[in-house]
Amino acid sequence: MDYALQVKDLSKVFGQQRALQQVSFNVKKGEVFGFLGPSGSGKTTTVKILTGQLLQTAGEVNILGKPASKMKDADLGRIGILTDNSGLYDRMTVQQNLDFYAKLYKAAAGRVEEVLQLVGLAEDKKKPVKKLSKGMKQRVLLARAVLHKPEVLFLDEPTSALDPGNVQKMHDLLRDLNREGTTIFLTTHNMEEAAQLCDRVAFLHEGQIREMDAPNQLQRKYAKNTIHLELKNGQNETIENNPTGAERLYQYMQAEEVLAVHSDQPTLGDIFIEVTGRKLA
Amino acid sequence: MNAARISAMLVKEYHDAKSNVQVLSVVIVPIFLAILYSRMDGELDFAASFVFIMAVTFVTMYVQALLLAEEKEKNTLQVLLLSPASSADIMVGKSIISVILTVIVLVVSMLIIDVNVENPIMLSVILLVALILFVALGTLVGLLSENLVQTTVYLLPLSFVIGFGPMIQMYFSEGIVGDVLGYTPGSFMMEACLAAINGEAFSAYREDIIWLVGWTVAALVVTFITFKKKSLSK
């Protein structure tokens, strides 16, 4: 199997605090992997270790086949990073910012124009960054992160400060990038976002992975064997998915009282609460 | 080191600095002093030496520290360090703009003061050593500061002692204040510049240059260690 990321028994201790404990997972090339957890669960620490910014206390971390802590400058050219606190040179224009990074990464000629089109900022390229909205700045950051066509893209809460319209645009961009072959490692506490974008997700809680699988597999695993009925009289009823429940449903249908039938499929948020006993925040 | 990446850093610094009010305002200080001194009756050698010290203190050190601290404050330095550019590419690229600005200020100041330099080669060597020293000091201040406000807090007393040290020393030539100020880089630079301008024999200011080089080496070592300790190196 060709893996972009391999993490085995990763632990990180800060003083007395255990930030990560025996975390293990692999991310296949071309996969969108969601790393989900509330604030303080260890997501950002994991990204910092994966990108060589922080050294682990124990365990093995390989990125594109090499230990993360031994990445050379050239290896950094194979990854892209977008964190929620990434900065831009706000006195410079969008194009000046991207031209600068294109030179640092030795991106192909014409790539700046290409990514400007990709993120929908071609019309605004002459604007100083300080005059852009938060959503536009986030798109510039994404453009910068993908300028050099990274093989692995790390996104740490990429939509945390965006309105729903911009979140949708960002999701479309990420899908396009993934279709082009970029492996995406997404950390978020937004379960809806993870369900929409990720091939697989891992739930991180208090520094440990509590569950890991494809979102639909998790939904199947944690599905309740019940069906939810909405009745014409305004009442709701939950029935078991078994012969007794079928009998009950048949009765309601014969009496023409059924307005809608819903499955009780849990969301990723519901599953997270069930697994960890706490809500995401 | 990679010339293309250093050149990219330089172009970026130029675009960023040309609309940076803080940078532009510190660049004006030595030029303003040069204009002032050129209209006053007095010793031009002293005026020129003092303006040179002001140039390296206010332009080299200030600009270097401000640009670095701003990168830290805006989280762009971490992005640079996660790029394929080496730490050396980044630091050299960042330093070139403060060096270029200082050279421009030095040349303009000399033209304004119109002082006759007897030993221009030696003066150039002294200024080159001073440039390296003050780039290192500016980098150190930038590394130690978490934001621009903190940079100013560190820079003000430092630039006062170094920049105005030789002047204060004139009034406190005896006693502990004068003795301490006599060992600051500004004092050694002042003595060496005066001697080079007046064409004195090298033996007259050899000791000042040795002290200046010593300060430069010490500043480079401390800056390098700080750079490593701050986990900014790759």
Identify the CA nearest to B164 among candidates B30, B50, B55, B66.
B50
Same domain, A20 and A89: yes
Which range in A147-161, A163-177, B64-78, B206-220 is most confidently predicted, on average pLDDT? B206-220
Chain B residue at shortest CA distance from A154: B82
Q: A171 CA to chain B: closest CA distance, Å?
A: 23
Q: Is residue A279 part of a domain?
A: no
Same domain, A103 and A167: yes
**pLDDT confidence tier of residue A279, bands split at 50, 70 and 90:** low
- Mean of the pLDDT values across residues A81-100? 89
Q: A109 CA to chain B: closest CA distance, Å?
A: 14
Identify the CA nearest to A132 among candidates A103, A161, A164.
A161
Same domain, A164 and A47: yes
* Helical segments of chain B, H only: 3-17, 21-38, 44-54, 62-73, 76-81, 87-113, 120-144, 148-171, 176-181, 185-198, 206-229
Among candidates B5, B19, B234 on the partner chain, residue whose Cβ is nearest the Cβ of A103 = B5
Q: Is residue A273 part of a domain?
A: no
Same domain, A248 and A201: no
Q: How is residue A60 written in tokens? A: 């093995």
Q: Is residue A271 part of a domain?
A: no
pLDDT digits (tens, 9 = 90+) for B133-182: 999 999 999 999 988 889 989 988 888 888 777 777 777 777 777 777 88
Same domain, A152 and A258: no
Contact B82 A100 (CB under 8 A): no
* Number of domains into which chain A is organized: 2
Q: Is residue A71 part of a domain?
A: yes
ipTM: 0.82
* The pLDDT of residue A187 is above 80: yes
Q: Is residue A113 part of a domain?
A: yes
pLDDT at res. B233: 46
The answer to whether the beta carbons of residues A166 and A132 sit under 8 Å apart is no
pLDDT digits (tens, 9 = 90+) for B95-109: 999 999 999 999 999
Same domain, A76 and A131: yes
Q: Is residue A274 part of a domain?
A: no
Q: Decide if A127 touches B, using CB distance below 8 A.
A: no
Q: Is residue A270 part of a domain?
A: no
* The pLDDT of residue A166 is above 80: no
Q: Decide if A26 touches B, using CB distance below 8 A.
A: no
Chain B residue at shortest CA distance from A78: B84
Chain A residue at shortest CA distance from B83: A76
- Mean of the pLDDT values across residues A5-14? 93
| CATH number, position A61 | 3.40.50.300
Interface test with B, best of A48, A51, A90, A104 (most B CBs within 10 A): A104
Residue numbers in B near A100 (CB within 8 A): 8, 11-12, 15
- Rounded to the nearest angstrom, the gap between the alpha carbon of residue A176 and the centroid of all alpha carbons in its chain is 15
Contact B83 A101 (CB under 8 A): yes
Q: Is residue A269 part of a domain?
A: no
* CA–CA dist A215, A204 (Å, integer): 15
Instruction: Classify residue B20 by burial, with Cβ atoms within 10 Å: 0-12, 13-18, 19+.
Output: middle
pLDDT digits (tens, 9 = 90+) for A195-253: 889 999 999 988 899 999 999 898 888 888 888 899 999 999 989 888 998 999 999 99
Q: How is residue B138 written in tokens? A: 């500016």
User: Of the residues A161, A187, A217, which one is the last residue of a structural domain?
Assistant: A217
Question: From its phi and psi, is residue A239 left (phi > 0), alpha (psi between -120 and 50) or beta?
Answer: beta
pLDDT digits (tens, 9 = 90+) for B40-65: 777 888 889 989 999 998 899 999 99
Residue numbers in A near B20 (CB within 8 A): 91
Domain that holds residue A245: 224-264
